[in-house]
């Protein structure tokens, strides 16, 4: 092989290696993920700002007032029986009234327990429904705004201790710190108000369509 042939072969190898390197670099560049778009929201502010929650709370308040009125009526009936019992002298009649009084007391206690459970169920279902709608609205907003990740921002929540709790204060602090999601988030990536407006507009449109 002549010197010229050797140089030709070397040049070809260099070009081949360079081309391969450029190809690998371009392929690696294509594999690099695009920057992740992140947003945050204050879920408590979202929940408190929803018109649907306000209307639901008003419904619960009206129901609570009806329950209070019925409770007062039941108490009034018991007081009437007690007043009647105070004027009875006959033992047989007194025993019958006492049995009636005991029956009313048991019924009131059972009714109150039932009502408390029903209210607890209604409140829990309300919270579940609101949370489901919030997550759905977040997903829809994220698609529109091309957001890749939405985080619940709890950076502004202070670490507190409850003196009346049976849990040691040190443990209370440790638990709150360990469950903290975010230490800092720039206000510019917060979508709380944007989400509230979007959800309230959707709710208002649904109410108007009924």
Burial label, 23 (beta-carbon count in 10 A; 0-12, 13-18, 19+)? exposed
pLDDT score of 210: 67
User: Percentage of the chain with pLDDT > 90?
Assistant: 58
Residue, of 4 and 160, whose pLDDT is higher: 160
Handedness of CA 103, 105, 107, 113 (dihedral sign): negative
The domain segmentation of the chain, as residue ranges, is: 1-32
Which of 5-14, 38-47, 177-186, 188-197 bottoms out in mean pLDDT, i.e. has the lowest? 5-14
Q: Does residue 47 contact residue 130 with C-beta atoms inside 8 Å? A: yes
pLDDT score of 201: 96
Instruction: Compute the distance between CA of residue 203 and CA of residue 182 in angstroms, rounded to an integer.
Output: 30
Q: Is the pLDDT of residue 36 over 70?
A: yes
pLDDT score of 195: 97
What is the residue-averaged pLDDT of the chain?
85
Sequence-separated (6 or more) residues with CB below 8 Å from residue 84: 97
pLDDT, one tens digit per residue, over 46-66 is 999 999 999 999 999 999 999
Q: Please indicate, yes or no, whether the overall pTM of this predicted structure exceeds 0.85.
A: no
Q: In which band, very low, low, confident or very high, does the pLDDT at 9 lie, cut at 50, 70 and 90?
A: very low
pLDDT, one tens digit per residue, over 80-102 is 989 888 888 888 888 998 899 99
E strand or H helix at 12, and its extent? helix 3-31
Q: Is the pLDDT of residue 13 over 90?
A: no
Mean pLDDT, residues 58-80 taken together: 92
Q: In a 3-state reduction of DSSP, which class is residue 40?
A: strand
Q: In which band, very low, low, confident or very high, does the pLDDT at 31 lie, cut at 50, 70 and 90?
A: low
Sequence-separated (6 or more) residues with CB below 8 Å from residue 45: 192, 196
Q: Is the pLDDT of residue 109 over 60?
A: yes
């Amino acid at each position: 092989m002549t010197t010229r042939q050797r140089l030709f072969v070397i040049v070809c190898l260099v070009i081949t290696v360079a081309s391969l390197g450029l190809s690998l670099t371009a392929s690696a560049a294509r594999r690099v993920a695009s920057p992740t778009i992140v947003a945050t929201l204050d879920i408590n502010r979202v929940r408190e700002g929803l018109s649907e929650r306000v209307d639901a709370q008003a419904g619960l308040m009206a129901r609570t007032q009806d329950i209070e009125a019925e409770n007062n009526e039941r108490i009034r009936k018991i007081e009437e029986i007690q007043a009647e019992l105070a004027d009875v002298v006959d033992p047989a009649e007194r025993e019958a009234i006492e049995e009636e009084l005991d029956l009313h007391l048991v019924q009131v206690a059972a009714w109150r327990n039932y009502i408390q459970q029903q209210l607890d169920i209604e409140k829990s279902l309300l919270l579940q429904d609101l949370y489901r709608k919030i997550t759905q609205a977040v997903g829809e907003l994220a698609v529109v705004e091309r957001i890749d990740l939405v985080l619940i921002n709890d950076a502004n929540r202070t670490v507190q201790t409850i003196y009346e709790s049976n849990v040691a204060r040190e443990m209370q602090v440790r638990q709150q710190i360990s469950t903290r999601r975010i230490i800092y988030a720039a206000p510019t990536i917060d979508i709380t108000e944007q989400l509230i407006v979007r959800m309230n507009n959707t709710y208002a449109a649904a109410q108007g369509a009924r």
